[in-house]
């Protein structure tokens, strides 16, 4: 869409000329097939959309603005499509069923307008990649882009046109379950991941072969839900909103995202889905967004629940007026039920409706759906069985893992030393938990668990035995359990629980080494999965303590989407590997990492708290009263986190030196170059993520102690040294000031730190002159 805007300006210049001399252009019939078609010009797309709009009735237009789930509304989906009341259907994964409904729309409606099929393709379609928080931990936007383009290819092959991703909500409270779906706490890393995912899903332009539409969500502030409670209100200062929560959305818009989802919750007293300032002033006026906005599910009707709209008509009008183009709903849409009357009553205008529908039609035109509405039903099988996809998934899982601890060089394991290996924990042999939440089209039989991969790895060289040890479960069930078809294990009786626990500890005692896979089940993380505690669930902690007490070496592998309270483990377990929910190839990736066939190089995308009472805790806080007395913030606990933002170890070791700034002083709009040498000081090859942090010492507003403003993941051979360059530009020093209610760039002294995490100590300084 970057191209899109450039073209738009270009066409505003030539449009009049073209209209006179090239009228045939407007017809744009007989377009080539998507595979060999290039990006359609804005002019052609607009002309086609306008031509269609002229032929549409009001009901047909409002129909395009309605998106319904394929299940659960008690109404006949087909009937509604046939009557022209549906523009998009979500939650279908089967190409034959998709084609069937598409036929209903194309053959059965007056204007033959095809449907858009949407689905939450969050971290893979059939081949499942690590969950987004894990992919963010790779600090490798190119890898993330490739992963999402594989996801797009598989989804498109099944007939899906549109994903509801990426989720770019900044999350600083890990009690919030949806932290797993985003890139963590930092706006700079979050913005890089947002743009990479948009490029991955959408390709070079809207309608690129084998790609789909992206939908950046949830606009905006959902990650700041009070108390980490899902769907609760967010109260965000304008400083935090502009400087922290909005930048990843802006980055996605700049990367050309074509759709955006309005959030469920109330933002500073105005529900996001009825928030005209957000959806119109910021998004359309300020950011020049030209695509369309879809509401989150039932979020239009829920404007009444918020105590904002007085009835369903008011809800529809206010969401529509705020800028929601399409309403997502389980049952009837408030738009379908109310907007026709509202138009008749003069409460909205037909040109407003046209403006809302036009970008929806444009997206369908750009995707080539009018010429090629159906999917080749044999394509899905070929595409999703592509071994290259599995290789990408393996690579992604390896690059996403974060090594948190490795005392005495326990890892990588020396294979010959361990002839009997115990594999313990409820996640060690669970396919469904290895892939994580938001998996609807994956085939869990394709997923490789840690236990399976380990057996494969050691073959006849060692004996590997598994014991689950404990069961873990939510107190209240997840609404997703039914959808993701998770087979529930029957709950153990008290005596069975005691036996299983004892069997696991005994197995550890009789083995040379124990690999424990602990954390949270996949349904404990994600939507509707907030938690008031960060403890290891159930009796996992007790099992860990009992196993460590056997005195045998223990490797702890964590599968989770949020930081957990692992203070005890961090002191008593020699090796801890954060694997997230690593996806289809998860077990293979973990085994490769612990045996040294791959080297961990991921870094934490959030600050890891010691316990839940420290939450929210993030590195980019402001310096306030008594900064040198940081250890006095609590009397019962350190003020520092367990692991800082950006932290992660490797089997290799690295050193940083020779920090150089190209100039000691710059003018406000000038850039400067920062370079640093990073050296692998070990005998092993490995990756380091070089991170650059900036701090403004004084100004119109007070600024955070440090902020990430550059990073690069670098591979280094043993003893190799590389010089890494960063550019610090004007944008890196511009921020929103609550003092002036505007963007400012101050002249000030700046500190620069470069290193391997947010506590980096290699320091330089420069001044910005007026
Ligand atoms: C979630 C969205 C999701 C939608 C459709 C909602 O409950 O908040 O993130 O895209 O459902 O599945």
Residue 19 confidence (pLDDT): 32
Is the pLDDT score of 1 beyond 50? no
Cα–Cα separations (whole angstroms), residue 2 to 210, 252, 253, 290, 450: 20, 11, 9, 11, 43
**Ligand 1, atom 11: closest residue by C-alpha:** 297
Residue 561 confidence (pLDDT): 98
The tens digit of pLDDT for each residue in 219-278 reads 999 999 999 999 999 999 999 999 999 999 999 999 999 999 999 999 999 999 999 999
530-551 mean pLDDT: 98
Residue 205 confidence (pLDDT): 96
Three-state DSSP at 202 gives: helix
Residue 21 confidence (pLDDT): 31
The string of DSSP letters for 378-423 reads THHHHHHT-HHHHHHHHHHHHHH-EEEEEGGG-PSP-GGG-SEEEE
Kindly state the helix (H) or strand (E) to which residue 295 belongs, with its residue range: strand 292-295
- CB neighbours (10 Å) of residue 21? 10
**Helix-then-strand count for the chain, H and E:** 25, 26
531-560 mean pLDDT: 98
The tens digit of pLDDT for each residue in 432-475 reads 999 999 999 988 899 999 999 999 999 999 999 999 999 999 99
- Residue 142 has, within 13 A of its CA and on its CB side, a CA count of 5
Three-state DSSP at 59 gives: helix
**What does the block give as tokens for 363?**
């997206």
Q: What are phi and psi of 35, to 5 degrees?
A: -60, -35
The tens digit of pLDDT for each residue in 723-734 reads 999 999 999 999
User: What is the C-alpha to C-alpha distance for residues 148 and 201, in angstroms, rounded to an integer?
Assistant: 5
Is the pLDDT score of 32 beyond 60? no
Q: Which of 223, 297, 302 to mutate to test the pocket of ligand 1 (most atoms within 8 A of CB)?
A: 297
Question: Does the C-beta of 60 come closer than 6 Å to ligand 1?
Answer: no
Question: Does the C-beta of 296 come closer than 6 Å to ligand 1?
Answer: yes
297 CA to centre of ligand 1 in angstroms: 6
Among residues 296, 429, 565, 732, the one annotated as catalytic is 296
**The ligand 1 atom nearest the CA atom of 167:** 9
For the chain, percent of residues with pLDDT exceeding 90: 89
The string of DSSP letters for 297-319 reads TTTTTHHHHTT-SSSHHHHHHHH
Residue 512 confidence (pLDDT): 98
| pLDDT confidence bin for 35, thresholds 50/70/90 | very low
Residues 6+ apart with CB under 8 A from 653: 680, 681, 682
**Strand order, beta sheet including 686-696:** 665-667, 762-769, 749-755, 686-696, 707-716
Q: What are phi and psi of 728, to 5 degrees?
A: -105, 110
Is the pLDDT score of 743 beyond 50? yes
296 CA to centre of ligand 1 in angstroms: 6
Question: Does the C-beta of 438 come closer than 6 Å to ligand 1?
Answer: no
Question: Does the C-beta of 164 come closer than 6 Å to ligand 1?
Answer: yes
Three-state DSSP at 426 gives: coil
Question: Does the C-beta of 67 come closer than 6 Å to ligand 1?
Answer: no
Torsion sign (Cα): 112, 363, 179, 575: positive
Is the pLDDT score of 41 beyond 80? yes
Question: Known catalytic residue: 232?
Answer: no
The tens digit of pLDDT for each residue in 402-419 reads 999 999 999 999 999 999
336 CA to centre of ligand 1 in angstroms: 20
**The ligand 1 atom nearest the CA atom of 218:** 9
Q: Which residue has the tokens 């115990």?
A: 422
For the chain, the residue count is 770
| pLDDT confidence bin for 2, thresholds 50/70/90 | very low
| pLDDT confidence bin for 70, thresholds 50/70/90 | confident
**Ligand 1, atom 10: closest residue by C-alpha:** 164
17 CA to centre of ligand 1 in angstroms: 45
Is the pLDDT score of 199 beyond 50? yes
Of 735, 665, 755, 605, which is closest to residue 240 (Cα–Cα)?
A: 735
Output the 3-class SS for 593-662. Answer: HHCCCCCCCCCCCCCECCCHHHCCCCCCCECCCCHHHHHHCCCCCCCCCCECCCCCECCCCEEEEEEEEC
148 CA to centre of ligand 1 in angstroms: 18
User: What is the C-alpha to C-alpha distance for residues 100 and 646, in angstroms, rounded to an integer?
Assistant: 48
Torsion sign (Cα): 304, 310, 315, 319: negative
Is the pLDDT score of 29 beyond 80? no
Residue 219 confidence (pLDDT): 98
325 CA to centre of ligand 1 in angstroms: 16
The tens digit of pLDDT for each residue in 484-505 reads 666 788 999 999 999 999 999 9
Strands (E), 511-574: 513-519, 554-559
The tens digit of pLDDT for each residue in 116-151 reads 999 999 999 999 999 999 999 999 999 999 999 999
| pLDDT confidence bin for 14, thresholds 50/70/90 | very low
149 CA to centre of ligand 1 in angstroms: 21
As to burial, measured by CB atoms within 10 angstroms (0-12 exposed, 13-18 middle, 19+ buried), residue 740 is: exposed
Q: Which of 90, 123, 164, 438 to mutate to test the pocket of ligand 1 (most atoms within 8 A of CB)?
A: 164
Residue 488 confidence (pLDDT): 82
526-553 mean pLDDT: 98
Q: Answer yes or no: pTM beyond 0.85.
A: yes
The tens digit of pLDDT for each residue in 670-689 reads 999 999 999 999 999 999 99
Residue 38 confidence (pLDDT): 64
**What does the block give as tokens for 400?**
């996403």
Question: Does the C-beta of 706 come closer than 6 Å to ligand 1?
Answer: no
Question: Does the C-beta of 298 come closer than 6 Å to ligand 1?
Answer: no
Is the pLDDT score of 607 beyond 90? yes
| pLDDT confidence bin for 73, thresholds 50/70/90 | low
The tens digit of pLDDT for each residue in 328-385 reads 999 899 999 999 999 999 999 999 999 999 999 999 999 999 999 999 999 888 888 7
**The ligand 1 atom nearest the CA atom of 222:** 8
For the chain, percent of residues with pLDDT exceeding 70: 94
Q: What is the mean pLDDT of the chain?
A: 93
For residue 704, what is the DSSP state? B
Residue 75 confidence (pLDDT): 63
């Amino acid at each position: 869409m970057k191209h899109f805007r450039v073209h738009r300006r270009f066409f505003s210049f030539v449009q009049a000329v073209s209209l006179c001399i090239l009228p045939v252009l407007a017809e744009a019939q007989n377009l080539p097939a998507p595979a060999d078609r290039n990006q359609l010009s804005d002019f052609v797309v607009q002309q086609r959309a306008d031509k269609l709009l002229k032929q549409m009735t009001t009901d047909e237009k409002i129909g395009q603005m309605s998106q319904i789930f394929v299940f659960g509304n008690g109404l006949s989906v087909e009937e509604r499509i046939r009557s022209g009341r549906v523009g998009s259907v979500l939650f279908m994964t089967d190409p034959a069923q998709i084609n069937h409904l598409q036929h209903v729309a194309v053959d059965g409606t007056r204007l033959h307008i095809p449907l858009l099929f949407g689905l939450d393709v969050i971290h893979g379609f059939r081949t499942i990649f690590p969950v987004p928080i894990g992919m963010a931990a790779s600090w490798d936007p190119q890898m993330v882009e490739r992963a999402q383009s594989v996801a797009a290819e598989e989804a498109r092959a099944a007939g899906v046109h549109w994903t509801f991703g990426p989720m770019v909500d900044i999350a600083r409270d890990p009690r919030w379950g949806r932290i797993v779906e985003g890139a963590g706490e930092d706006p700079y890393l979050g913005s890089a991941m947002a743009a990479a995912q948009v490029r991955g899903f959408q390709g070079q332009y809207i309608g690129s072969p084998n790609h789909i539409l992206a939908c950046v969500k949830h606009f905006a502030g959902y990650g700041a839900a009070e108390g980490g409670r899902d769907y609760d209100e967010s109260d965000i200062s304008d400083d935090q909103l502009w400087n922290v929560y909005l930048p990843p959305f802006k980055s996605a818009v700049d990367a050309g995202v074509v759709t955006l989802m309005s959030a469920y919750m109330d933002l500073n007293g105005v529900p996001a889905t009825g928030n005209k300032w957000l959806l119109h002033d910021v998004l359309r006026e300020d950011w020049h967004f030209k695509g369309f906005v879809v509401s989150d599910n039932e979020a239009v009707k829920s404007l009444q629940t918020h105590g904002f709209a007085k009835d369903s008509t008011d809800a529809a009008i206010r969401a529509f007026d705020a800028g929601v183009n399409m309403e997502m709903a389980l049952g009837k849409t408030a738009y379908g039920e109310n907007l026709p009357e509202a138009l008749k009553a003069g409460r909205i205008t037909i040109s407003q409706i046209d403006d809302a529908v036009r970008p929806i039609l444009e997206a369908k035109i750009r995707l080539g759906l009018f010429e090629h509405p159906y999917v080749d039903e044999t394509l899905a099988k070929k595409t999703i069985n592509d071994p290259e996809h599995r290789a990408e998934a393996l690579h992604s899982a390896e690059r996403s893992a974060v090594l948190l601890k490795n005392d005495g060089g326990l890892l990588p394991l020396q294979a010959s030393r361990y002839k009997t290996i115990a594999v313990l924990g409820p996640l060690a042999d669970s396919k469904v938990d290895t892939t994580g939440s938001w998996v609807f089209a994956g085939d869990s039989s394709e997923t490789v668990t840690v236990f399976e991969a380990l057996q494969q790895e050691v073959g006849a060289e060692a004996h590997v035995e598994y014991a689950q040890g404990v069961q873990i479960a939510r107190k209240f069930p997840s609404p997703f359990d039914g959808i993701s078809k998770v087979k529930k294990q029957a709950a153990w009786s008290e005596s069975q629980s005691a036996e299983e626990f004892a069997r696991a500890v005994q197995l550890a005692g009789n083995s040379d080494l124990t690999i424990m896979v602990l954390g949270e089940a996949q349904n404990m993380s994600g939507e509707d999965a907030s938690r008031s505690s960060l403890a290891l669930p159930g009796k996992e902690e007790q099992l860990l303590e009992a196993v460590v007490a056997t005195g045998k070496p223990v490797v702890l592998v964590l599968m989770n989407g949020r930081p957990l309270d692992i203070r005890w483990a961090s002191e008593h377990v020699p090796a801890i590997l954060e694997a997230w929910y690593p996806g289809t190839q998860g077990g293979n990736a973990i085994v490769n990492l612990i045996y040294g066939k791959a080297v961990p190089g991921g870094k934490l995308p959030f600050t890891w708290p010691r316990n839940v009472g420290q939450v929210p805790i993030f590195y980019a806080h402001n310096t306030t009263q008594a900064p040198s007395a940081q250890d006095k913030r609590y009397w019962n606990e350190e003020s520092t986190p367990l692991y800082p933002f950006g932290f992660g170890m490797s089997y290799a070791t690295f050193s940083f030196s020779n920090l150089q700034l190209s100039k000691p002083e710059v003018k406000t709009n000038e850039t400067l170059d920062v370079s640093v040498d990073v050296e692998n000081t070990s005998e092993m090859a490995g990756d380091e993520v070089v991170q650059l942090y900036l701090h403004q010492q004084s100004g119109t507003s007070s600024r955070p102690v440090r902020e990430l403003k550059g990073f690069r993941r670098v591979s280094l051979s043993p003893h190799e040294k590389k010089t890494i360059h960063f550019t610090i530009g004007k944008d890196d020093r511009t921020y929103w000031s609550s003092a002036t209610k505007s963007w400012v760039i101050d002249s000030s002294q700046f500190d620069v730190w470069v290193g391997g995490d947010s506590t980096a100590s290699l320091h330089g300084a420069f001044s910005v002159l007026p």
